[in-house]
Structure 1
């Protein structure tokens, strides 16, 4: 989808102070040394007990809102993306984020699209604002904290190390420091069973008292018959290529035109195979090296990575940023931004 007159007006991030290194996790027996070598991560951030995902998201949201400088009454929608437990059961964390940032009576929506939550929120916000003729803004936040005993940041998943953190973006139909040129989303629900597994349904979370085990779920599905793994990889590669090209075409640019490419903080093997080899992303354009000190931060890698680019990579007017997400389910979203000025902050 090509967008006209939609702008990124603010970005924000919250990264907890406590650091847990890969070396510490290996020494404690929580992380396998061979897997650590293959994945390439160096460290993650660990939230305090009083910093569940929504609290972190509110911190990031307030920063983005302050930087945007848009009156609170113009915020017509707040969206919050997340993956893990949000600090309370049977609760609506997005309303907490809304109350702690912009308040008001605008629409508030929680997004559960796994690692694609932040970018899915960005596209939904764009669709919402495009239908508003009056001055309006949208706040999109993400926030996750991965805690034992429910989730093991080092052991619940393969090819991942999960870090705590939050991101935020303010989208406006009035102006900002970057234009949203395009977004594209593609869903392939035939791949949904990969993360559901084959063990059947449960009556509630954490019934067996053991951390979430995504290793077994994925293995049960991908190894259930010969060729299943290869077919899934081929499907994912095709889908990723398709959605990326659609977003680039709608933005009237080529991948080589992008100075920045922000993808999820994921394992070295996946980055090298999927992004560098198959999609042709140039390593120097990415936030990969930076992300090795933070790990995979749930729904927020892309928003947090965009904030890092704005703060530390000196974007100039005319620079393009392409960001790509993929969430279990499976959903892919790509967004293309064009900086119109270097953010004043």
Structure 2
């Protein structure tokens, strides 16, 4: 395969990416009218629309994952028999306390027994990490494809859509991408994927004096904010500083791996995680400032999708139809835990024909 001008040989090809969302939607002002939020709480969330899952038979997280996976496979033209890896990422409880969610999704999609279902638990950055797993799998089996899927369903009694984070609203939905060896008809070629971890920041969650035997029952929903214990120990400024260091390093390393300069004019879009303005500044501030004229964030349309942000952003970039052959897109990932990712995607030049 011919190299892209000024870049390296692609690691992967993204055949297609798609999303699936429940039909029901809610906005902060809707919650004020029903008495679920105060006007002050709603104002903190600003203008955002969430998709809200309803029936468990069709809108559990695994069921939504199946719907997104089917949509991506259909758009890609890849038959289920050609899928050698299913990488399933999630953030929140999957609706069953003692099962492997990836196997549930693989069964729903009708994947063959030769397709390995793998769960990726890296909080909101899991789907980004799955691209690296897929690249490794495809080195072993050059004829196979990988299906990367992410899905989360939030809501009482665990993670409240509106209250678990005072600056962030959580929306339900699923997203998926089919990847394989690079080919001319791909939606994108993946030129680089770089991850940087800050494992010491797991202590943002260390607020209940260690570990326990079961999921926390009180308060009535999980508080996703950095804990008081972490904040009292001076953790918030450190979280911001380390996050800024890590996302900057991830972007620098990815651009270097792709053979690109930061100011390359072909970088037309930088896709930010679906986070509110304040949380984005905390997690990716320097990169957003540097590429302020190219940042794209769909938070207002869906809220934060948990593990689904990364794939949903790729799906929206593919289906928007405003990218030209040769255009380069940076896709950013960030998640509690903590880990940070930058993927460099390029629209194949061959698509011009």
TM-score by length of 2: 0.88
Any conservation in 1 of the 2:14–2:178 contact (CA below 8 Å)? yes
Q: Distance in 1 between matches of 2:132 and 2:38?
A: 37
Structure 1 residues 78 and 273: alpha-carbon distance in aligned structure 2, compared to 1, 3 A threshold = closer
Structure 1 residues 102 and 324: alpha-carbon distance in aligned structure 2, compared to 1, 3 A threshold = farther
Q: How does 1:303-314 map to 2 (within 5 A)?
A: 303-314=311-322
Gaps of 5+ in 2: 1-7
Correspondence for 1:123:
132
Q: Distance in 2 between matches of 1:267 and 1:4?
A: 32
**In the alignment, structure 1 residue 221 sits paired with structure 2 residue 240:** no
**In the alignment, structure 1 residue 328 sits paired with structure 2 residue 336:** yes
**In the alignment, structure 1 residue 301 sits paired with structure 2 residue 309:** yes
Q: CA deviation at 1:172?
A: 0.5
**In the alignment, structure 1 residue 143 sits paired with structure 2 residue 155:** no
Candidates 14, 31, 40, aligned match of 1:8: 14
Q: Please, what is the CA RMSD of the aligned residues?
A: 2.3
How big is each residue's C-alpha offset from its partner over 1:43-96, in whole Å with a ceiling of 9 and x where there is no partner?
Answer: 111012220111111111111111111232221100100011112110111112
Structure 1 residues 341 and 218: alpha-carbon distance in aligned structure 2, compared to 1, 3 A threshold = farther
Correspondence for 2:5:
none
Structure 1 residues 185 and 5: alpha-carbon distance in aligned structure 2, compared to 1, 3 A threshold = closer
Correspondence for 1:57:
65
**In the alignment, structure 1 residue 195 sits paired with structure 2 residue 205:** yes
SS in 2 for 1:80: strand
Correspondence for 1:21:
27
SS in 2 for 1:171: strand
Correspondence for 2:46:
40
Q: Distance in 2 between matches of 1:272 and 1:91?
A: 36
**In the alignment, structure 1 residue 270 sits paired with structure 2 residue 276:** no
Q: CA deviation at 1:98?
A: 1.2
Q: CA deviation at 1:101?
A: 2.1
Any conservation in 2 of the 1:41–1:295 contact (CA below 8 Å)? no
SS in 2 for 1:235: helix
Any conservation in 2 of the 1:149–1:209 contact (CA below 8 Å)? no
Q: How does 1:108-187 map to 2 (within 5 A)?
A: 108-132=117-141, 134-173=142-181, 175=183, 176-187=186-197
Structure 1 residues 268 and 313: alpha-carbon distance in aligned structure 2, compared to 1, 3 A threshold = farther
Any conservation in 2 of the 1:275–1:281 contact (CA below 8 Å)? no
Structure 1 residues 158 and 190: alpha-carbon distance in aligned structure 2, compared to 1, 3 A threshold = same
Candidates 238, 242, 255, aligned match of 2:249: 242
Q: CA deviation at 1:142?
A: 0.5
SS in 2 for 1:280: helix
Q: CA deviation at 1:273?
A: 6.1
SS in 2 for 1:170: strand
Structure 1 residues 97 and 256: alpha-carbon distance in aligned structure 2, compared to 1, 3 A threshold = farther
Gaps of 5+ in 1: none
How big is each residue's C-alpha offset from its partner over 1:152-175, in whole Å with a ceiling of 9 and x where there is no partner?
Answer: 110112321000010001111152
